[in-house]
């Protein structure tokens, strides 16, 4: 570590920050009246019956899910359950989807999801899948945009927290996932103060043609905290750029102890070089325990597979795979512009946005322009790689997206604004206040080579005084800003679900054309499916009872079942026999200790019930499916364990 990074300016920094926050609060009150565009209403008005131009996939943060909005209307279209059980449709409760939430720690029914990332082909969003991270128990999920369902979840071994994840390459060859907390690798019982022995992993997740994910290899790097990445494209394809913090390697009170050094690092990772090292046998296959969960739509069932080894590559055995680039202190993510020539990072505590030139970086590596090394990783000389610093940017710059027209848009958390600046001249050309404390922002396609431009979708952490109050907790919010003109114009303000972090936007037609409307009944390979009402039956296997049940407007078959006994475990395998778009049926039994089923046309789901006392138990359909939905119901007769009541359904009784 070079001593120039050691000047302890954090005290001054923290005081300055406190002063800034005070000013910002006063500014807020004045800004509340800030004008919105006079034709804003027209610009966001999507006529009833008309579609929005864009989809926005917004992370749910502590809700663990993804919410889908139409843009520009701000209409909430759907919440896709990913890492958190969802009683609304039985995700994570029914037998088919429970395996999706299995991990090496057992069943984990919740997570904290931050960064959706749309699959790309040739550097442009292609509308196939959206990936998203679980921050707490390290995982990456893949959602199929044909069905809007989570179809795969891969656990990431050797990670102490999967925040900087998942960020993909321009053809979705890999997703990069870095560890936020350094930990011993392999994990073991050592004193916390031995933090110097902790390591950081940067995982490369291979995505095959069908979307299936696997851990290709993990770079084992110095144990600092790695954060958000964006990968190169065009000229910089083959590289990914991740910011990091805590080069101090603090293990307590990080807010102070990890802000001492003047500079942190961007890790520039050459994944093609790493691939080469792996091919040359420099990686080690090590023991690791993690899971790979997949939902197969042919039988509508998920399976969880336990994996036991992973390939790790120490950066010391492949020094050409990683370089550190000095960056203003406490950065929070690195972004690559649409041409792939620049990568950009803001320093939260430094009021500085720096753009680096990829070309200069390659030259600096060739010319060995190093200013030192950090635990064996070469540090590039700052002046040799920097392309420019944005002049008079803002306070607390975080994330940058690009419009494809030569401008960057950076979110500024402390000064609550979006700043628009020009690539090349590094001048700020416009500012737009946000309400308040802006985290991420998103431009549809703004992280790709082909942005649609048009809007900035800003995600704010604090909404005090923006909406009707709702008790101690107020919602986070999104704001829509028109960027099609010279000046940014605020159009719309709306609350979000959970705490949005990053989002991704895509032209609607790319997703609309892939929509699956029904699952074909004749292709249903679920072991307990029925293809018609005639196939419905009950089968007893000891004290297990399997009910093969069909649903069609507006009845269940069977709808009368007798001969169930206290002590039985009853499996209701319920098939929706409809073959019509948007006709789900629901299923639930009084007193059952689980969530309902919500079964899509042509699909089979399983509901487990253990009756505890004899009596008559009604069940019914929970989704208003027809004028006779209220009549869609049935009865189960439960008898004492020793009783000899005849076992059967309508036809036998
Ligand atoms: S975070 S506000 Cu992506 Cu989790 Cu930046
Ligand atoms: Cu089926 Cu309501």
Degrees, nearest 5: CA angle 445-126-101: 95
For residue 23, what pLDDT band results from cuts at 50, 70 and 90?
very low
Kindly list the distances between the CA atom of residue 456 and the CA atoms of 47, 481, 538, 611, in Å, as whole numbers in the listed order.
21, 5, 56, 53
3-state secondary structure of 35: coil
Q: DSSP 3-state helix, strand, coil percentages of the chain (rounded to 5)?
A: 15, 45, 40
pLDDT in tens, 73-100: 999 999 999 999 999 999 999 999 999 9
Structure tokens at 329: 């202190």
Count CA atoms within 13 Å of residue 542 on its CB side.
1
Contacts of 608 (CB under 8 A, 6+ apart): 95, 569, 570, 571, 572, 594
Q: If you count them, how many residues does the chain have?
A: 653
pLDDT for 10: 39
Contact 201, 185 (CB under 8 A): yes
The Cα 79–Cα 475 span in angstroms is 16
For residue 14, what pLDDT band results from cuts at 50, 70 and 90?
very low
- Ligand 1 geometric centre to CA of 202 (Å): 18
- Ligand 1 geometric centre to CA of 38 (Å): 32
Structure tokens at 518: 């029904």
Pairing mode of beta strands 604-609, 597-599: unpaired
Contact 335, 447 (CB under 8 A): yes
Q: Looking at ligand 1, which atom is closest to the CA of residue 459?
A: 2
- Ligand 2 geometric centre to CA of 632 (Å): 6
For residue 20, what pLDDT band results from cuts at 50, 70 and 90?
very low
Q: Which residues line ligand 2 (CB under 6 A)?
A: 554, 585, 621, 623-625, 629, 632
3-state secondary structure of 434: coil
Q: What average pLDDT does range 476-503 have in this prediction?
A: 96
pLDDT in tens, 573-623: 999 999 999 999 999 999 999 999 999 999 999 999 999 999 999 999 999
- Ligand 2 geometric centre to CA of 629 (Å): 5
DSSP states of 601-644 as a string? TT-EEEEEE---S-EEEEEE--S--STTGGG-EEEEEEE-TT--
Q: Looking at ligand 2, which atom is closest to the CA of residue 584?
A: 1
Residue nearest atom 1 of ligand 2, based on CA coordinates: 585
3-state secondary structure 170-212: CCCCEEEEECCCCECCCCCCCCHHHHHHCEEEEEEEEECCCCC
- Ligand 1 geometric centre to CA of 439 (Å): 6
Q: Looking at ligand 2, which atom is closest to the CA of residue 626?
A: 2
Owner of token pair 């990445």? 229
Which ligand has an atom closest to residue 167 CA? 1
Which ligand has an atom closest to residue 554 CA? 2
Q: What average pLDDT does range 490-498 have in this prediction?
A: 95
Residue in 437, 439, 442 to alter for ligand 1 test, most ligand atoms within 8 A of Cβ? 439
pLDDT cut 90: percent of the chain above it: 90
Which ligand has an atom closest to residue 587 CA? 2
pLDDT in tens, 537-569: 999 999 999 999 999 999 999 999 999 999 999
For residue 347, what pLDDT band results from cuts at 50, 70 and 90?
confident
Q: Looking at ligand 2, which atom is closest to the CA of residue 622?
A: 2
Q: How many CB atoms lie within 10 A of CB 546?
A: 18
For residue 186, say if its preceding peptide bond is cis, omega within 30 degrees of 0. Answer: yes
Q: What average pLDDT does range 506-517 have in this prediction?
A: 98
The Cα 452–Cα 54 span in angstroms is 10
Q: Which of 277, 244, 274 is nearest to 261 (CA)?
A: 244
3-state secondary structure of 438: strand
For residue 11, what pLDDT band results from cuts at 50, 70 and 90?
very low
Q: Which of 68, 44, 38 is nearest to 130 (CA)?
A: 68
The Cα 485–Cα 434 span in angstroms is 18
- Ligand 1 geometric centre to CA of 440 (Å): 6
Residue nearest atom 1 of ligand 1, based on CA coordinates: 501
- Ligand 1 geometric centre to CA of 100 (Å): 25
Q: Is the pLDDT of residue 7 over 50?
A: no
Q: Looking at ligand 1, which atom is closest to the CA of residue 461?
A: 2
Q: Which of 10-19, 198-207, 456-465, 474-483 has the lowest mean pLDDT?
A: 10-19
pLDDT in tens, 35-77: 687 899 999 999 999 999 999 999 999 999 999 999 999 999 9
- Ligand 1 geometric centre to CA of 294 (Å): 27
The one-character DSSP state at 77 is: E
Residue nearest atom 2 of ligand 1, based on CA coordinates: 439
Which ligand has an atom closest to residue 625 CA? 2
pLDDT in tens, 106-143: 999 999 999 999 999 999 999 999 999 999 999 999 99
Count CA atoms within 13 Å of residue 187 on its CB side.
10
The Cα 305–Cα 321 span in angstroms is 31
The Cα 139–Cα 304 span in angstroms is 13
Q: What are phi and psi of 499, to 5 degrees?
A: -115, 105
Q: Which residues line ligand 1 (CB under 6 A)?
A: 114-115, 163, 228, 332, 398-399, 439-440, 501-502
- Ligand 2 geometric centre to CA of 586 (Å): 6
Q: Looking at ligand 1, which atom is closest to the CA of residue 114?
A: 4
Contact 132, 140 (CB under 8 A): yes
Q: What average pLDDT does range 386-412 have in this prediction?
A: 97
Q: Is the pLDDT of residue 426 over 50?
A: yes
Q: How many CB atoms lie within 10 A of CB 619?
A: 23
Contact 444, 506 (CB under 8 A): yes
Residue in 59, 114, 135, 245 to alter for ligand 1 test, most ligand atoms within 8 A of Cβ? 114
Mean pLDDT of the chain: 94
The Cα 621–Cα 600 span in angstroms is 13
Q: Is the pLDDT of residue 9 over 70?
A: no
50 burial (CB, 10 Å; 0-12 / 13-18 / 19+) is exposed
Q: What are phi and psi of 56, to 5 degrees?
A: -120, 125
Q: What is the pTM of this model?
A: 0.95
- Ligand 2 geometric centre to CA of 624 (Å): 5
């Amino acid at each position: 570590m070079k001593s120039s990074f050691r000047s302890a300016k954090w005290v001054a920094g923290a005081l300055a920050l406190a002063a800034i926050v005070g000013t910002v609060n006063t500014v807020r009150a004045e800004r509340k009246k800030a004008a919105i565009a006079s034709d804003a209403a027209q610009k966001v008005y999507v006529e009833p019956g008309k579609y929005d131009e864009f989809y926005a996939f917004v992370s749910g943060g502590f809700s663990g899910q993804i919410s889908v909005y139409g843009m520009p209307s701000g209409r909430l279209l759907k919440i896709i359950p990913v890492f958190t059980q969802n009683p609304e449709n039985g995700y994570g409760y029914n037998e088919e989807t429970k395996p999706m939430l299995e991990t090496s720690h057992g069943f984990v029914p919740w997570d904290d999801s931050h960064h959706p990332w749309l699959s790309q082909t040739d550097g442009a969003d292609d509308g196939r899948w959206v990936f998203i991270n679980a921050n707490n128990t390290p995982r990456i999920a893949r959602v199929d945009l044909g069905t809007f369902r989570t179809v795969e979840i891969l656990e990431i071994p050797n990670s102490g927290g999967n925040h900087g994840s998942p960020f993909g390459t321009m053809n979705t060859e890999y997703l990069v996932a870095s560890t936020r907390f350094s930990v011993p690798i392999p994990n073991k019982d050592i004193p916390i103060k031995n933090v110097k022995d902790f390591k950081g992993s940067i995982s490369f997740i291979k995505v095959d043609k069908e979307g299936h994910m696997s851990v290709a290899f993990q770079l084992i790097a110095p144990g600092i905290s790695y954060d958000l990445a964006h990968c190169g494209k065009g000229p910089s394809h083959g590289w990914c750029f991740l910011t990091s913090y805590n080069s101090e390697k603090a293990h307590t009170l990080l807010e102070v102890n990890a802000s001492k050094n003047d500079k942190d690092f961007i890790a520039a990772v050459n994944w093609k070089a790493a691939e080469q090292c792996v091919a040359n046998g420099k990686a080690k296959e090590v023991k690791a325990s993690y899971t790979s969960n997949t939902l197969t739509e042919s039988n509508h069932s998920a399976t969880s597979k336990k994996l036991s080894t992973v390939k790790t590559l120490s950066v010391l055995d492949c020094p050409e795979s990683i370089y550190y680039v000095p960056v203003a202190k406490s950065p929070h993510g690195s972004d690559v512009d649409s041409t792939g020539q620049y990568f950009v990072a803001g320093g939260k505590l430094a009021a500085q946005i720096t753009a680096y030139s990829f070309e200069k970086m390659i030259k600096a590596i060739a010319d060995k322009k190093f200013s030192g090394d950090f635990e064996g990783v070469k540090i590039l000389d700052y002046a040799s790689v920097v392309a420019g610093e944005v002049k008079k940017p803002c306070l607390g710059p975080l994330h940058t997206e690009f419009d494809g027209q030569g401008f960057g848009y950076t979110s500024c958390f402390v000064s609550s604004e979006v700043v628009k600046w020009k690539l090349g001249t590094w001048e700020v050309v416009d500012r737009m206040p946000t309400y308040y404390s802006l985290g991420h922002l998103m431009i549809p396609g703004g992280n790709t080579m082909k942005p649609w431009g048009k809007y900035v979708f800003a995600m704010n952490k604090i909404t005090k005084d923006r909406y009707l109050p709702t008790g101690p907790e107020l919602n986070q919010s999104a704001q829509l800003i028109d960027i099609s003109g010279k000046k940014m114009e605020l159009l719309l303000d709306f609350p979000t679900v959970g705490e949005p972090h990053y989002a991704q936007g895509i032209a609607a037609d790319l997703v609309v054309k892939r929509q699956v409307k029904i699952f074909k009944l004749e292709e249903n390979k679920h072991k307990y499916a029925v293809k018609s009402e005639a196939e419905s039956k009950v089968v007893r296997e000891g004290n297990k009872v399997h009910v093969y049940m069909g649903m069609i407007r507006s009845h269940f078959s069977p709808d009368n079942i007798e001969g169930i006994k206290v002590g039985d475990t009853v499996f209701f395998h319920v098939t929706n026999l409809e073959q019509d778009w948007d006709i789900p049926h629901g299923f639930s039994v009084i007193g059952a200790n689980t969530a309902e089923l919500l079964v899509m046309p042509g699909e089979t789901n399983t509901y487990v019930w253990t009756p505890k006392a004899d009596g008559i138990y009604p069940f019914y359909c929970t989704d208003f499916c027809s004028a006779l939905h209220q009549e869609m119901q049935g009865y189960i007769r439960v008898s004492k364990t020793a009783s000899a009541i005849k076992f059967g359904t309508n036809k036998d009784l």
